A and B are shown apart, each in its own frame.
Chain A
């Protein structure tokens, strides 16, 4: 039983606010952490190597200073913040860093990272921008190269069995996240969006077993709740890239909305797709990370031949979640300078219109300084839905 005095959410908050403290502890015990950014880095390979993946985060409360002396301000503001924290030494406990081909900001700044930070291991994982037979072949080879390179670094050859074990652990983690999302289906949801995002973010700073443990405890806690921490309100969907801070979600909930589902990277985008088991593990990982992660970065061919068919195919996950979680309105939250998401705004708007779902499009710069501007927009949007 969980002691009310020692609520599991205090632990979550701790992991969230003092991000990385557990990793620092484990490092003292001799564990190696490999940092990563973006949804495209196969965490299973890192875990299979015996080292521990750690998602590096930005901080919207920390003004970007040192980072701007090395990296242009036209870079994605989220990524700029992550870089700034890294060059300020926030993540010096890491042994290495893996950056995937997620977007131009990542590709073009790779040298600034790899020459500017004190880690002994760096690796760039190239991700195809299309999904066809040859790109899977390529990606298999690219992931295999990553496996070998990491194995060389850790001094341990990564076997298929290691990979299978890691895949199982991550699939289990994804099942738990799914179960957490199930708790959002109640009206009002049993778990607030703020709690959920905090939990998932905390999880990405922990070894997978500890993350699984944490999620189990959160599940027990929330299932045991008599009532929701939220008042009934418009059920809001968040559509966007990486939202590794809770401010926007907290704002929506403070203003009376209930955040019930999302496509964000540290939400459904990362945590819903599972890896197939049974076949070749590298191939299964290639399939998961290239095809199942639905990111605008990947070009999906228009097979329908119509615009309506194309958007239904590309954004179908949004429609499925909107129905499943009985969504009343959506916030499309896009960072300034984000080309992959930015170019989809008109099509996404059209898609929401086809669902008859009110939409608020916000362009933001990953800074706590914009919260008051967002407040009026979000409140007006909630008022609009409530008319």
Chain B
């Protein structure tokens, strides 16, 4: 019998699911809005459809991310710190420093040579240090979110954003815009400012190569460039940075199952019924 492992990562803005056996076989991403949060089961359903599997075929399922506690159909929950580390080390065995840039928070994780977590840092729940910062500014500048990174790369003269508070920075950007500063320069400045905040935090870990950036922020080339320049380290990005947490969750499940089989201990699992998640 083939074993299948599922990982579901409920982040603040996106819900991600990964199903794998020996290698990855399906992954799917859906939004996490105030409404969709309870519909994580839908994301799971889609992933199953994509993998041509039915839910009872899943051997073990691990939930992670900000909404992990509210997944009734998961067998176990792990934090996104453990899961991102697991997923990244799987993809990049040489990883020593991981920076996960999510919609609402940023995490730094330090890994030792054996792939174990030795330390981590997280920012406070303040929008200024997270993807939300870029969203707010993109909105002010009326640039679609998926274009902010590319547009910022056109800048030859990044403007200096002196405010780190999101609200103040928004005002500052708006007033610079009215003074005629180019949008690309403002975007580049905003990326540098965010990179600066992120680096201030991860510096507490003493950054070592290889540095991997993951999470939604890793899809923003402007931010990656700013991070890499300011960090003075080359930065690697997974092919699909959104799913590394869900991948790690599935891998955690796989490990648990293998360990139980090895030790001949019973595996505690939930009933395989997909149901709506209760509102947080």
Contacts and interface: CB of A to CB of B under 8 A. Distances in A.
Interface of A: 373, 376-377, 379-381, 383-384, 387
A380 B116 contact: no
Contacts of A376: 66, 79-81, 122
22 contacts: A373-B122, A373-B124, A373-B125, A376-B66, A376-B80, A377-B120, A377-B122, A379-B79, A380-B81, A380-B82, A380-B117, A381-B120, A383-B78, A383-B79, A383-B81, A383-B117, A384-B81, A384-B82, A384-B117, A384-B120, A387-B116, A387-B117
B124 A380 contact: no
Residue among A373, A380, A383, A384 facing the most chain B CB atoms (10 A cut-off): A380
A376 B116 CA distance: 18
A376 B84 CA distance: 13
Nearest to B65: A376
Nearest to A377: B122
Nearest to B109: A380
Nearest to A387: B116
Could you tell me the dominant secondary structure of chain A's interface residues? helix
Given A377-B120, A384-B82, A384-B120, 9 more contacts: A376-B66, A376-B79, A376-B81, A379-B78, A380-B81, A380-B117, A381-B120, A383-B78, A384-B118
B255 to A, nearest CB: 11
A30 to B, nearest CB: 49
A2 B122 CA distance: 46
A380 B120 contact: yes
Residue among B78, B79, B81, B120 facing the most chain A CB atoms (10 A cut-off): B79
B79 A380 contact: yes
Nearest to A378: B79
Contacts of B118: 384
Interface in B75-98: 78-82
Contacts of A381: 120
Interface in B116-154: 116-118, 120, 122, 124-125
Contacts of B81: 376, 380, 383-384
Nearest to A373: B125
The 8 closest A-B pairs by CB, nearest first: A380-B81, A380-B79, A383-B82, A384-B117, A379-B79, A387-B116, A376-B79, A373-B125
A64 B117 CA distance: 38
A379 B122 CA distance: 13
Interface in B32-67: 66
A373 B122 CA distance: 9
Contacts of B120: 377, 380-381, 384
A109 to B, nearest CB: 26
Contacts of A373: 122, 124-125
A266 B20 CA distance: 49
Contacts of B78: 379, 383
B244 to A, nearest CB: 15
Contacts of B79: 376, 379-380, 383
A124 B159 CA distance: 53
Contacts of A384: 81-82, 116-118, 120
A384 B78 CA distance: 11
A355 to B, nearest CB: 15
A70 to B, nearest CB: 26
Contacts of B82: 380, 383-384
